[in-house]
Amino acid sequence: MPNRRTSSSSDLKGDDTSPVFSPRAAAAFGIRHIRNGAWDLFHRPGGHPDPSSSKKINDGDASSEIVRLIPYAWRYAHEIFTAAGGWLVVFSLVSLVQAVIPAIRVYFSAEMLNLTQVVIEKQEIDKERLLYTVVAHAACSAVDNMCSHFTQRNGRKLQRRVEKVFDRHLFHARIRLDVPTFEDPAVQGRLSACYSYSGSMGWAVFEEVLSSAVEILNLVSRVSVVAKQVYDHDQQGSILTVLCFSGNIATTWLVSKSQGYELDSVTIANDKTVRSINGLSACANDKEHRQEIVTGGLQEHIRHRYEAAKERIGDAPSSAFEVLVEALYPGSWVVDTCIQIAEKLPEIYLAFYMLQSPSTFATSFATLRILQENATSLAASSCQIFARRASLFSCFKRIRDFYEIINIPNKIIDGTEAYPIPDSLDDGALGTGIEFRSVSFRYPGAKQNCLQDVSFTIKPGQLCVIVGANGEGKSTIVKLINRMYDCDEGKILFDGKDVKSFKLADLHKRISVLYQECHHLPVSVGENIGMGNPQNVDDKLGIIEAAKLGGASDFIEKLTDGFDTVLAQDLDMVVVGEGGSELYEKLVEMKLLKAPVKAGLSGGQMQRLALSRTFMRPPEEVTLCLYDEPSAALDPQAEYDLFQRLRALKGKKTMVFSSHRFGHLTKHADIILFMKEGTICEAGTHTELLAKDGHYASLYNIQAQAFQG
């Protein structure tokens, strides 16, 4: 496995500028530099990266599904040709033309050796025919390598155009999923199957189909030519064997010189658009961000930003993988022509030797050479085509699966009614009324319920605190209120109506949530806060004010790039190869790259950042505030300041807190729910529960003793 190292954008000198590169200084250390779009690739001979290890597609009997697959295949063909235009047709035709060139080359090889046979047997030389054959053979090699150069250079651009369309499909399919659907292993398997090693399967399927057509055409054309030329002759010629080996050795040497199979590299993009694309992709792909995205209603916002970034970058590469592949396999039709001439040394030797000594050999070597050259490769091609049958059918099944993933139903069914209820607005009610009626819930795959027969009522504008030890179901209640999951039994009511009847977008717009597990999104700090209000995510003044309210402004100002600091560590730099880390250190030493700055956030800072996001919503828009252990990672002063700000909202919004720490909030709560083993065993105010001298009073006294002498 090659070494891999990643770095944040803060590792670089400046922003949106390429590193200052001195070829003379770097050349002294064997370092080369390639600029490709927004990316800089520094490399030198070293490791052996292998980015092309692809997944194996399971074989299956696809014949019974052919009729079903036709509409999907037709749609696929229409989309890729629409995306890539006429160039894809030209690309395909050039590939098919290249497929018959080996057969033409075999024909002229046979002609050349047949001419030598005539010289041996009749002592006659057809100079015009010989010259024509030699020139035609060389022309075949040149055309073959020009075709290869054309497909290699233009294939990359066409691939990006096709992948842009299919990436959009996959992005939309992922970003729309709710939490339980996204976490379903079967759904993850279906989504993963739509990716190849280099991205979505859009281009991979086209390559598979075109490669199959090319191999079949190549095999049929060569078999036809060889069959016509085969005759029975005695076999001899040790010199030809030596030349064959020499040609292979020369070919291997030229290949090693022309292609960067062994490479230590540092690939870096100091570009906001690239970081945005990769960061937004992580938002859609990674499980840790799903809760924040669904809760904040960020799906459409993230999708629009992703598509806009893709349009801005155009045909330029957006991933380090693309840059690395283009550097590893640059291709050269001149070098490839030299390679093929080296492979043809035996035929060239035989032709000219016959001209000098026409009476030396008594037998023709035409059939010998044709069979030597083609027997092994034809057998291998036949086996490869036979083995490719199931793979080809699997490709069409993958096309079908690709188009069907957009129809994966979410497990949380959207409602049809608007929220809040118009009548409640007319009544001037503040906050949301919540009622649980005999609610039971079990997480997918769990063996037992984590909530059992839970019932309680929270009136509009009340402050409710859910307390209890860890693992008793406090966070689960918050997730059910916010419809991250739906209860298995019972009902949850908002303002007297089943919460399932309301539109999810309306609910999420009216609810502000802070979860116990805080995950920042892989974008800038400012955008992390701004996404608390997707309709106004670029409001800089609002972001600054939200950061102050959330207690995050002080530490943000100390970050390297302030609100523009990107905290994700794998968006714009990849180090590959056994000596890649050493190369990275050398680049830092030469001041071509800036030494990494550790800008990671502590748990408390992460929580303040997440809390700041909740203050982005307009106050009049939010009717329900949910806080799951909001002070778990805060120091005492920060916790006190937070609760002072939140208590000021009492009576204006319904607020639900879950906590295992008593004190600042419980004394001011309108209702306290004490949870034990997934049920509510006590409910009341702080004074009432202390008077009961039950579970709440016991835990409260234990915590209070810590502050008594």
- State the Cα–Cα distance between residues 155 and 147, nearest whole angstrom: 11
pLDDT in tens, 18-62: 444 455 566 666 777 777 777 777 776 544 333 333 344 344 444
Tell me what the mean pLDDT of segment 239-244 comes to: 46
Asked if residues 347 and 116 have their Cβ atoms less than 8 Å apart, the reply is no
Structure-token match 């590792």, residue found:
11
Distance (Å) of CA 464 to CA 87, 514, 557, 632: 64, 15, 34, 18
Asked if residues 634 and 604 have their Cβ atoms less than 8 Å apart, the reply is yes
**Percent of the chain scored above 90 by pLDDT?**
10
pLDDT in tens, 536-562: 888 888 899 888 888 888 888 888 788
pLDDT score at 439: 95
Banded pLDDT at 65 (limits 50, 70, 90): low
**Percent of the chain scored above 70 by pLDDT?**
66
Most confident of 19-23, 133-137, 576-580, 704-708: 133-137
User: What mean pLDDT, rounded, does the chain reach?
Assistant: 75
CA-based nearest residue to 674, from 697, 651, 640:
697
Banded pLDDT at 456 (limits 50, 70, 90): very high
pLDDT score at 639: 66
pLDDT score at 346: 56
pLDDT in tens, 606-658: 778 888 888 888 877 888 988 887 766 556 666 666 667 766 666 678 989 88
Banded pLDDT at 659 (limits 50, 70, 90): confident
pLDDT in tens, 244-266: 445 544 555 555 555 544 567 77
pLDDT score at 15: 42
Give the distance from CA 24 to its chain's centroid: 37
- The two most distant CA atoms of the chain are separated, in Å, by 123
Domain range summary for the chain, segments of one domain joined by +: 63-258+331-407, 422-517+622-636+649-705
- What count of residues does the chain have? 709
Banded pLDDT at 3 (limits 50, 70, 90): very low
Rounded to 5 degrees, φ, ψ at 416 are -120, -15
Q: Which tokens hold the place of 511?
A: 């609810």
CATH topology of domain 63-258+331-407: ABC transporter transmembrane region fold (1.20.1560)
Q: Which tokens hold the place of 491?
A: 């009902």
Answer whether residue 679 shows pLDDT above 80. yes
- State the Cα–Cα distance between residues 75 and 291, nearest whole angstrom: 33
Answer whether residue 301 shows pLDDT above 80. yes
- For the ranges 214-228, 471-485, 637-651, 656-670, the lowest mean pLDDT is seen at 637-651
What top-level class would CATH report for the domain 422-517+622-636+649-705? alpha beta
pLDDT score at 500: 94
The residues, any chain, with a CB within 8 Å of residue 103's CB and separated by 6 or more, are: 218, 221, 222, 224, 225
pLDDT in tens, 130-171: 888 888 888 888 888 898 889 888 888 888 888 888 888 888
Structure-token match 């939490």, residue found:
179
Asked if residues 188 and 173 have their Cβ atoms less than 8 Å apart, the reply is no
Q: Do domains 63-258+331-407 and 422-517+622-636+649-705 have the same CATH topology?
A: no
pLDDT in tens, 98-109: 989 888 887 887
- For the ranges 120-134, 228-242, 450-464, the lowest mean pLDDT is seen at 228-242
Asked if residues 203 and 162 have their Cβ atoms less than 8 Å apart, the reply is yes
